[in-house]
Amino acid sequence: MSDSPAQVSYTEDNIRSLDWKEHIRMRPGMYIGKLGDGQSADDGIYVLLKEIIDNCIDEHAMGHGKSVKVVIRDGEVRVRDYGRGIPLGKVVDVVSKINTGGKYDSRAFKKSVGLNGVGCKAVNALSMEFAVESFREGEGKLARFERGELLEESKLEKTDERNGTSIVFRPDKEIFKAFSYRMEHVEKLLWNFAYLNTTLALYLNGEKFKSDHGLKDLLENDLDRDPRYSIIHLTGEDIEVALTHTDTYGEDYQSFVNGQFTPQGGTHQAAFREAYVRVLRDFFGKDYDAADIRGGILAAVAVKVEEPVFESQTKTKLGSAEMGPDRPTLKSFIYDFLKRELDNYLHRNPEIAQLLQSRILQSERERKDLAGIKKLARERAKKSSVHNKKLRDCRLHLGDKKPRNEESTLFITEGDSASGSITKARDVQTQAVFSLKGKPLNSYGLTKKVVYENEEFNLLQAALNIEDGLDNLRYSNVVIATDADVDGMHIRLLLITFFLQFFPDLVKRGHLYVLQTPLFRVRNKKETRYCYSETEKQEALGVLGAKAEITRFKGLGEISPDEFSHFIGDDIRLDPVVIGKESRIQEMMSFFMGKNTPNRQQFIIDNLRVEKDAVDNE
């Protein structure tokens, strides 16, 4: 029998003090957020890279160094800047002693991102190999670590290297299991640094990342459809804004603080949204609805704040309300800037003001046209949620619509057998299941009216709580779980089309995934292996023997709940739905979901032969 709480001793022997690296390694999530395997842009391996580059950016912001070179090969990362270099006598301390760093001297780093002296120490502690080398005025010093333990510290040596710092690290496979860097995520990270630092050049494996026009370049590269008017680009001391409108639904923001991308927004983004509405109401002299003013907006805003306060170590959401000690609030600072600069811009460019107003009036007409049907749809969704079993919610959200927890997941699946297996195998605390009835409607080219008229779409929208945008999205991970056959592929495309058509922000912000499930089970009397490809099947046969039993899974419903628990637990494989930089959403949806064309038919023949390949390989 286990000890009852009253029987457990609590003495001095129970108290343990962890050193800096033990604490980081025991609680890595406190420092870098979720671990992940590199599939998602916010996985820990990208946070490690960003923490190192942040230091390079801070040096550049102080006027030291015009380039940063990044090399990523075989899981090893090299970052070289050309700043002043770490003071040679403090090389070891800066990367291995918590609360040690130059950023505590506000005279040197007044508007830095990393003020807590933790970033590079976390990288060191979470790396199986970590080396730092500093070069200053013809001298250099090297220190090597293993999982935060100092292995080697060189003496000062003469060098011909230019001033700066070189850091090499390899994330620890004990912590980041089966990880790999996806270059599209790294490229996005480097582009953000480039947009915010127009005098800096960054290099990734030799490829140059450089921006001449800052956030204006960001929006131009981010546009996936034609804008309603030319991008408005406004700059001032400690603030930069770029914005336009498109014909898409929803609002799309990218916000930054001191060069730090804040994917969850925060006080600065909220202040911009509010100030933008106030300024346009004043300019047009009309009390337009805020949703109409912001409908279809694509905007980027960057501010520089003294001593910023973020809501977590990973700095994804700003919590500061002021620009800094003895400085104005963010709300008043951003409003005053837009009132002056945006108002002046619109007066000087009346044709753009007219186009902007026409977009507002379009949103107003659409909202009024939908008013009646939206009310009926909400009532249907509310009534349906009581009586149907389409949504098996998780305990995190059961019975309410509170905003998402970063760990929460909604599986969207088709058919009773598949949804039943996932429901029985899931983690009821964090994983929910939404069951589709048949194939979804092809929503390409349709208006948002169909979201409310179509029962499946209406209930899915209600389950996610995204009718009014992503602020109240209930699940951080929205996962399409369909069979690995042609029908399953079609359902995936229909669902992706639905989200791209009406909720593109969900995809752009990295919330949409496709669940990978195994195609084969290979087992003998001693071991069972699940294989996601023909290659993995052959590898399993090589280990388990040619006489091992092979089972080909035809659909999710054939996988038992006990087996499913292996695929949606710690070893879950998720493919993020990523819209590439060169992809324009409307053109892509037209190709896949529009009128049949010979080009599309040939593409399907060449690329979507799922069932045929499986049959050929058996």
The total number of structural domains in the chain stands at 4
The pLDDT value recorded for residue 605 is: 52
Asked if the structure places residue 304 within a domain, the reply is yes
**The domain boundary residue, chosen from 179, 209, 239:** 209
Query: Phi/psi at 470 (nearest 5 deg)?
Result: -85, -5
Asked if the structure places residue 378 within a domain, the reply is no
Which DSSP state fits 230?
P
Which DSSP state fits 154?
P
- The answer, yes or no, to whether residue 168 has pLDDT greater than 50, is yes
Asked if the structure places residue 270 within a domain, the reply is yes
Residue 318 and residue 418 in one domain: no
303-304-306-312 Cα dihedral, nearest 10 degrees:
60
Residue 329 and residue 458 in one domain: no
C-alpha distances (whole Å) from 421 to each of 110, 159, 261 are: 55, 63, 39
The strand pair at 512-515 and 475-481 is best described as parallel
* Amino acid present at 121: K
Q: Which residues contact 427 (CB under 8 A, 6 or more apart)?
A: 394, 568, 569
The pLDDT value recorded for residue 1 is: 45
pLDDT digits (tens, 9 = 90+) for 245-300: 998 888 889 999 988 888 888 999 999 999 999 999 999 999 999 999 999 999 99
Residue 548 and residue 559 in one domain: no
**The domain boundary residue, chosen from 365, 400, 430:** 365
Average pLDDT over residues 463-481: 88
Q: Which residues contact 135 (CB under 8 A, 6 or more apart)?
A: 85, 159, 161, 162, 163, 164, 165, 166
Average pLDDT over residues 415-432: 86
CB neighbours of residue 430 within 10 Å = 18
Q: Which of 200, 23, 34 is closest to 118 using CA atoms? A: 23
Q: Are 261 and 192 in contact (CB under 8 A)?
A: yes
pLDDT digits (tens, 9 = 90+) for 293-325: 999 999 999 999 988 888 766 677 888 888 888
* Amino acid present at 524: N
The pLDDT value recorded for residue 532 is: 86
pLDDT digits (tens, 9 = 90+) for 509-561: 889 999 988 889 999 988 999 898 889 999 999 999 888 999 998 778 778 88
Residue 258 and residue 352 in one domain: yes
The pLDDT value recorded for residue 32 is: 81
More confident residue, 23 or 247: 247
Residue 344 and residue 399 in one domain: no
pLDDT digits (tens, 9 = 90+) for 181-207: 999 899 999 999 999 999 999 999 999
Average pLDDT over residues 443-460: 88
Which DSSP state fits 534?
H
Predicted TM-score (pTM) above 0.85: no
Residue 94 banded pLDDT, cuts 50, 70, 90: confident
Residue 469 and residue 429 in one domain: yes
Residue 473 and residue 596 in one domain: yes
CATH classification of the domain holding 342: 3.30.230.10
Average pLDDT over residues 602-606: 56
Which DSSP state fits 6?
G
Supply the mean pLDDT for the chain: 84
- The answer, yes or no, to whether residue 490 has pLDDT greater than 50, is yes
pLDDT digits (tens, 9 = 90+) for 62-90: 889 999 999 999 999 999 999 999 999 88
Average pLDDT over residues 476-489: 86
Residue 165 and residue 263 in one domain: no
Q: Which residues contact 239 (CB under 8 A, 6 or more apart)?
A: 301, 302, 303, 304, 333, 334, 337
- The answer, yes or no, to whether residue 562 has pLDDT greater than 50, is yes
Residue 223 and residue 199 in one domain: no
Residue 192 and residue 75 in one domain: yes
- The answer, yes or no, to whether residue 102 has pLDDT greater than 60, is no
Asked if the structure places residue 532 within a domain, the reply is yes
- The answer, yes or no, to whether residue 8 has pLDDT greater than 60, is no
User: Could you give the CA distance from residue 217 to residue 219 in angstroms, rounded to a whole number?
Assistant: 6
Residue 264 and residue 404 in one domain: no
Per-residue H/E/C for 241-287:
EEEEECCCCCCEEEEEECCEECCCCEHHHHHHHHHHHHHHHHHHCCC
What is the domain range of residue 358? 215-365
User: Could you give the CA distance from residue 215 to residue 618 in angstroms, rounded to a whole number?
Assistant: 52
Q: Are 167 and 78 in contact (CB under 8 A)?
A: yes
Q: Which residues contact 581 (CB under 8 A, 6 or more apart)?
A: 184, 187, 221
Residue 332 and residue 478 in one domain: no
Helix, strand, coil percentages, rounded to 5, for the chain: 40, 20, 40
Asked if the structure places residue 382 within a domain, the reply is no
Asked if the structure places residue 16 within a domain, the reply is no
Asked if the structure places residue 497 within a domain, the reply is yes
